[in-house]
Amino acid sequence: MEESWRHHYLPQFYIKGFCDENGTITVYNKQYKKFEKKSPKYIFFEANRNTFFDALGNQGDTLEKLYAYLESTISPHLNNAINDTTGKMAVETLRNLIFLAYLTKWRNPLYDESFENLKETFTVDDLGLGLRVDGERLDIELEKFFQSDLSQESKRLLLSIQPFRFKDDYEIIFRNSFIIPSSTPCLLGDCPFLEANIDENRVFEDFIFPVSQNQRLVYSNRINKYEFVEYCKNNESAACDFIHLFSTTNNLATFHLAEKYVACSDEVYLRTIVDSYDNLIKNQLCNINLLRQVFSVLHNYNT
């Protein structure tokens, strides 16, 4: 079987949710200040990013194939979320969206430096891999058997499932995750996973993750999602103002954090964001912490 080489750090099935009716998306190259129409196949990938040597010294794309398998299991749930008209998301759908968010985080180049540090700090045993007999965990350290490049890179997957590893952590994340619609087309940047940096002692910080061109998955245990929903129902005008501000701030932060590419289904709107960001720089407002601003808007939705 021919080995793959175009390894997407944003899955193609995920990018499709941000495309226009023709299945293409407008991409802005920040380095060359250039707009182009692309299909999901040709964006957000690196050549041979997931090609590694295994324990036998064989080089291959095993990790990429594993990602492809996981994507095939997540994809139907993402489609359910995008096409849902009931407003009542199934438990399994929400669970898979949360997993997609963390999986996207740890396979993304923006987190490579963090991963390299954690890879050296934590063993596969620390991250939950172990052997059990009759329910009892064997006192065997597996890290020494996981020294190949492929095995070490698999820690990205182990990091992605940490939110699901312990019941208390999972219940907090699941209970405080919800969807916020967008009043403008969601931008897709190099790393769409926006994570708060408010409290360095928190293992799982608040995050915002666009799931399609018109909705975002939000996790925050700093606000009560049921109170948020009730507020939006009872204060329609104020809720519309919040959603518009939240949407715009998210897109500006996404643009700011992207190292090279930003994409959107609506070229006209993308050009508007580019102009708005350029004006921030021109007016010397680029030092504003746009990421912190996003979460400030979220946490103060009712003020």
DSSP per residue, 225-283: HHHHHHHHHH-HHHHHHHHHHHHHHHHHHHHHH-SSEEEES-HHHHHHHHHHHHHHHHT
Q: How confident is the model at residue 46 (pLDDT cuts 50, 70, 90)?
A: very high
> Does residue 43 contact residue 133 with C-beta atoms inside 8 Å?
no
What whole-number percentage of the chain has pLDDT above 90?
84
pLDDT exceeds cutoff 80 at 35: yes
Structure tokens, 16? 């499709």
Which residues lie across from 53 on neighbouring strands?
Answer: 59
pLDDT exceeds cutoff 90 at 276: yes
69-73 contact pairs (CB < 8 A, 24+)? 70/103, 71/11, 71/13, 71/14
* Amino acid letter for position 83: N
Q: How confident is the model at residue 136 (pLDDT cuts 50, 70, 90)?
A: confident
How confident is the prediction for the chain on average, in pLDDT? 93
- C-alpha 176 chain-centroid distance: 17
Residue 86 confidence (pLDDT): 75
For the chain, the C-alpha Rg in angstroms (whole number) is 20
Residue 285 confidence (pLDDT): 60
